[in-house]
Chain A
Amino acid sequence: MGRIVFSAGMNGNNHQANIADERRPGHRIPGSQSEFREDDPPMKPAKRRAGIPGGSHLLRFRAVAGSVLLLAATIVHAKLNIVATTADLAALAQAIGGQEVAITALARPTEDPHFVDAKPSFIVKLSRADALIHGGAELESAWLAPLLAGARNAKILPGAPGNIRACQGVQMLEVPDALDRSHGDIHAAGNPHFLVAPENARIVATHLAEVFGQLDPPSAALYAANRKAFTEQLEARRRVWRNALAPFKGARLVAYHNSWPYFAREFGLEISLFLEPKPGIPPSAAHLAMVMARMKEQQVRVILHDPYLDRRTAETVARTTGARVVNVTQYPGGVKGSEGGYLEMMDYLVNTLAQALAAASPAPPAAPGAQPK
């Protein structure tokens, strides 16, 4: 662990970056070379200098010595520098790592995780990471490989302990029998949107605690304790979530993209009608007409909308069928109200859906003047 952490909070696009840092401001060494922070207020060094009168050599010496000691202390107790591809993985890593880790998420929570640009700045972050957490189920396959190649970091290469495939141990759904792209952009490893099921969050959290403990043995007990606390909370809330959605067992919902099978299975919902005719293929008019007919036939009143999908299509369908568009996300911070961590995001999802389904179920409002052919 004897490495200096370059906290990579340069451009403000590290959503989870340095959360632990901010919680423990005393841990940071102002002006030390171990931290490059362009977002530091420029006033800081001036203030510090003002505090040390120019003539007092003793004070200056003390300050320097103190800095050196602090720097040494940081090197010894350097945090694990974790990079997660997406915000959900970052949130779980934060729950497990607590203050012992510095976390950077590459994809923004509002961003389509399939289509993230392989920005060179990500190479820098990955080159300095102690561990990389990725889904492992091809969600990031369009952008992660060249970043890993450019990062040339042995700690996070496939096969290294720091290359954490979150999907390990997760029972994947919708694993295709045959790989055939005429079925759209399907993933060989199964549907990669697995983290919205609490059971899978528990598996990933356990996995993270074990790997963090391997990478940072002195804090292993702490990671284990964090995992225990997290999974206890998760189990407690899982009961609440199940109760909240229990009245709507079997309810049908529409989504743009097939990213909700794990959530549907957990809560007994039916999310099998999609605005996309096939994964990754934009909706055609004929397909939308079929979807709308089915929605009316099956009394479907809720359309799930992720922030990075085409809202206009969802709204058109909603207008025609009398359904409502509900903002959802699988990434903490992806939608207003889902900020915080994994549990908060799930709270938001469950509450939002329960409200929407409650509003929709008793007496479906007549579709305003829209009679499809």
Chain B
Amino acid sequence: MISMRLSLMRWLGMLCIGGVMAATAQGAGEVEQLQRQLRELQENFERVMREQRQQIEALQQQVERLQARQPAPPVKAESPPVAEAPEESDAVRRGWSPPDPIRIGQGGAYMDIGLVGTFAVGGSTARDIEGGTQLGGHDPNRRGFTVQGVEVEFEGAVDPYFRGSANLNFAMDGEGESFVELEEAWLETMALPGNFQLRAGQFLTDFGRLNGQHPHQWAFVDAPLVTARFLGPDGLRNPGARVSWLMPTPFYSELFLAVQNSHGAGAAGFRGGGHHHHGGHGDSTALPLGYRHADNDRGIRGLGDLLWSPRYAVSFDVTETQTVLLGASAAWGPNASGGRGDTTTQIYGLDGYWKWKPANAHGGFPFVSFQTEGLVRRYGLGAFDWADEAQPQVFTAPLTPARLGRETVTDYGFYAQLLYGFRKGWVAGLRYDAVTGERGKYEKLGLTDADGAPWGRDPLRRKRWRLSPNLTWYPSEYSKIRLQYNYDERADLGADHSLWLQWELLLGAHGAHRF
């Protein structure tokens, strides 16, 4: 044992000091033996070195040959990661590019840029298409051709803390006037502690399912009646901030709370009253809801003057091939009705989405999906005396300006849509829409205009339903062609038929969609 340990020490000593004889040599014979061993060791060492050098050279030549034969490796020199670079492994150091964001399209720029163009052609038996039969701000709006929207999208990581997104929409109204909308522009935290996420900027409110989506994601050429009537032609969309919390449940469940401005085009059901695209009698300048004056913006005096929208969403995978996503939403804020400006709007909604897709679907087909949203709106109408106006427009009897009392009116509505992707690239859809409003006190007064012609029931709250079958063909994920028919039945106005052909192009990078 001891001698073994000694010899081991000796070997170690020789290696370390570089061949100096061990100090404990115990005789000439042993010295000679050790010298011989050392020589052998040196020879061995040199041979190994030589062999290794040869091997390295051979490998280098091989690598060069292979590289000459193949296209250049795609791993391009890219900028180092912006985040504090983690201690990289050997493998990572071996000439690998730093992890870059996941993108569609080439990850060579700091942001992804994409363009979606949506157009339609068709016609309707109705005369009042824009704001009449078609309530959505980006619906087909006239007989002939419509530019529904040309959206430019920008998306990317701002820095290690935020991701950013912006969405500008160009479109033309029914008169052919171009307009530009800032649809969205926000930054969002990447990873706050506690599973929180903060978004700030201009954004689509998470109310229900459709409102948070851009129109090109919709499965129909137009907005459902209920969302367009209650949330506004352009939906709920305003500057503000949103916090969301992914709850620590074993299934997906998330709470959202958004606070946004309550005025402007993105909050039509609140203080954006003057912006309603539509009115009674096909007159797009007519006043909304109950013929109140809508020009009473009192600014922001407290938190109650902002628009508050909470939402809870929950999802389950019912089976391996079926997923359900359910949500409950609300939106509260002041509205622009009446002379005093102290009235509020409350909107509540429930939404559901179910999708089936078999485990061996080909390119995402076949699939069946069902989507529905039901909404209730309680709209506070302020007291208003038309006699105070320089040019009264609403009268109770000929030449008596109307004096309207304070009241709250309630409206209901829902849509349900079924989609069947029956073969790759082909989707058949069917949607049913219905909206109605409880008759308000003001509607019982027999209001007339200055000439004594009755205003009748408020057309913006009148009962209405619509049935829309359609067929969509996606030649690829980047284009689509859609044909849709609408049977539209409006109380007091009768039935209308509309036929629209829609087409869409998608250029550049396009962010993947949420479920």
Q: How distant is the Cα of A97 from the Cα of B179 in the complex, in angstroms?
A: 57
Q: Are A117 and B514 in contact (CB under 8 A)?
A: no
B512 and A172 form a contact (CB under 8 A): no
A124 at the binding interface (Cβ < 8 Å): yes
Docked complex: A169-191 residues within 8 A CB-CB of B: 169, 171-172, 175, 179, 181, 184-185, 188-190
Cβ of B97 < 8 Å from any Cβ of A?
yes
Q: Are A114 and B363 in contact (CB under 8 A)?
A: yes
A8 contacts across to B, CB distance below 8 A: 250
Give the contacting residue for A175; candidates B74, B96, B246, B319; CB below 8 A.
Answer: B74
Number of interface residues of B (CB under 8 A): 73
| Interface 9-mer from B188-196, B220-228, B386-394 | B188-196
Q: Interface size on A (CB < 8 Å)? A: 71
Q: B410 at the A/B interface (Cβ < 8 Å)? A: no
CB contacts (< 8 Å) of B478 on chain A: these are 181
* Residue B90 interfacial (CB < 8 Å): yes
A243 to B376, CA, bound (A): 70
Q: Contact between A214 and B104 (Cβ–Cβ < 8 Å)?
A: no
Check: B99 CB closer than 8 A to any chain A CB: yes
Could you say which of B70, B364, B513 contacts A171, with CB atoms under 8 Å apart? B70
In the assembled complex, B360 has its CB within 8 A of some CB on chain A: yes
Is A138 in the interface zone, CB < 8 Å from B?
A: yes
CA–CA, A72 to B337, complex, Å? 61
Q: Does A146 contact B (CB under 8 A)?
A: yes
Which of A50-58, A149-157, A318-326 lines the interface with chain B?
A149-157
Within 8 A of A (CB), among B308-335: 313, 315-317, 319-320, 323, 325
Report the Cα distance A112→B477, complex, angstroms.
15
Docked Cα-Cα span, A96 to B191, in Å, equals: 28
- Residues of A with C-beta under 8 A to B190: 149, 152, 154, 157
When chains A and B are docked, how far (Å) is the Cα of A151 from the Cα of B107? 22
**Which stretch in A19-27, A160-168, A232-240, A347-355 binds the other chain?**
A160-168
Quick check: B362 and A309 within 8 Å, CB to CB? yes
Q: Is the CB of A152 within 8 A of B196?
A: yes
Contact yes or no, A115 B363, CB < 8 A: yes
* B446 touches A (CB below 8 Å): no
**Complex contacts, B250 vs chain A, CB 8 Å:** 6, 8, 10, 36, 38, 124
B252 touches which of A13, A123, A172 (Cβ 8 Å): A123
| CB of A98 closer than 8 Å to a CB of B | no
Least CB distance from A3 to B in Å reads 12
Do residues A112 and B323 form an inter-chain contact, with CB atoms below 8 A? no
Are B512 and A112 within 8 A (Cβ)? no
Chain A residues closer than 8 Å to B403, beta-carbon distance: none
B296 on interface, CB distance cutoff 8 Å: no
Which stretch of B26-34, B49-57, B81-89, B461-469 is in the interface? B81-89
**Interface residues as binary, B73-113 with A (CB distance below 8 Å gives 1, 0 otherwise):** 11100000111011101111011111111111111000000
Are A168 and B82 in contact (CB-based, < 8 A)?
no
Report Cα–Cα, A163/B92, bound state, in Å. Answer: 12
Q: Quick check: B317 and A121 within 8 Å, CB to CB?
A: yes
- Whether A13 contacts B362 in the complex (CB less than 8 A), given A158-B100, A185-B477, comes out as no
Report the Cα distance A150→B514, complex, angstroms: 9
Given contacts A150-B514, A168-B96, contact A310 B360 (CB under 8 A): no
Min distance, Cβ B156 to any Cβ of chain A, angstroms = 11
Q: How far is the CA of A207 from the CA of B511 in the complex (A)?
A: 28
Say yes or no: A149 contacts B100, CB within 8 Å: no
Q: A150-B246, A282-B425 in contact; A307/B86 too (CB < 8 A)? A: no
CA distance A118 to B515 in the complex (A): 5
CA distance A127 to B191 in the complex (A): 10
Checking A145, A160, A181, A189 against B512 with a beta-carbon cut-off of 8 angstroms, the contacting residue is: A145
Interface pair B91/A145, CB less than 8 Å apart = no
B-side contacts of A136, CB under 8 Å = 99, 102
B476 at the interface (CB under 8 A from A): yes
> Which residues on A sit within 8 Å (CB–CB) of B101?
158
Chain B residues contacting A185 (CB-CB under 8 Å) are 476-477
- In the bound complex, residues from chain B placing their C-beta under 8 Å from that of A114 are 363
Interface residue A281 (Cβ < 8 Å from any Cβ of B): yes
Cβ of B476 and Cβ of A154 under 8 Å apart? no
Residues of A within 8 A of B70 (CB): 171
B359 adjacent to chain A (CB < 8 Å) = yes
Please tell me if the beta carbons of B320 and A118 are within 8 angstroms of each other in the complex: no
CA distance A155 to B148 in the complex (A): 41
B475 — which chain A residues lie within 8 A by C-beta? 281
Q: Which of A112, A121, A179 contacts B315 (CB 8 A)?
A: A121
Distance in angstroms between the alpha carbons of A10 and B94 in the assembled complex: 39
On chain B, the residues within 8 Å of A148 by CB distance are 102
Say yes or no: is B163 at the interface (Cβ < 8 Å to chain A): yes
The answer to whether B317 touches A175 (Cβ under 8 A) is no
Known: A148-B102, A159-B83, A188-B107. A175 touches B320 (CB 8 A): no
| A10 adjacent to B104 (CB under 8 Å) | no
CB of B494 to closest CB in A, whole Å: 42
Given known pairs A144-B512, A150-B246, the reply for A210 and B91 (CB within 8 Å) is yes
B302 CB within 8 Å of chain A: no
Cβ B512 vs Cβ A146 within 8 A: yes
Q: Does A248 contact B (CB under 8 A)?
A: no
How far, in whole Å, are A10 and B511 apart by their CA atoms in the complex? 29
List residues of chain A with CB within 8 A of the CB of B90: 210
State how many angstroms separate the Cβ of A221 from the closest Cβ of chain B: 15
Check if A158 sits within 8 Å of B102, measured CB to CB.
yes
Q: Given A120-B315, A144-B102, A210-B90, does the pair A152, B512 have CB atoms closer than 8 Å?
A: no
CA distance A10 to B250 in the complex (A): 8
Tell me whether A112 and B251 are in contact in the complex, defined as CB-CB below 8 angstroms, given that A145-B102, A146-B514, A280-B477 are known contacts: no
Chain A residues whose C-beta falls within 8 Å of the C-beta of B480 in the assembled complex: none
Q: Does A12 contact B (CB under 8 A)?
A: yes
Query: Do A206 and B91 form a contact, CB below 8 Å, given A13-B317, A179-B106?
Result: yes
CB-nearest residue of chain A to B71: A175
B284 at the interface (CB under 8 A from A): no
Let me know if A207 and B252 touch, CB within 8 A.
no
Report the minimum CB–CB distance from A6 to chain B (whole Å): 6
Q: A10-B251, A111-B359, A159-B83 are in contact. Are A119 and B99 (CB under 8 A)?
A: no
> For the complex, is B361 an interface residue (Cβ under 8 Å from A)?
yes
- Kindly state whether residue A11 has any CB partner on chain B within 8 Å: yes
Give A280 to B104 CA distance when docked, in angstroms.
15
| Interface flag for B10 (CB, 8 Å) | no
Q: Are A12 and B320 in contact (CB under 8 A)?
A: yes
Complex: chain A residue closest to B96, CB-CB = A168
B213: interface (CB < 8 Å): no
The docked-state distance in angstroms from the alpha carbon of A111 to that of B478 is 21
Task: Across the A-B interface, give the 7 residue pairs with the lowest CB-CB distance, nearest first.
Answer: A120-B252, A36-B250, A154-B191, A120-B315, A210-B89, A115-B364, A175-B74
Question: What are 14 pairs between A and B in contact, CB < 8 Å?
Answer: A10-B251, A11-B320, A112-B364, A115-B363, A119-B515, A124-B250, A152-B197, A153-B191, A157-B83, A158-B101, A165-B99, A281-B475, A281-B476, A309-B362
Known contacts A163-B99, A175-B71, then 7 further A-B pairs from the complex at CB < 8 Å, ordered by chain A residue: A120-B515, A121-B251, A138-B103, A140-B102, A145-B103, A169-B91, A281-B476
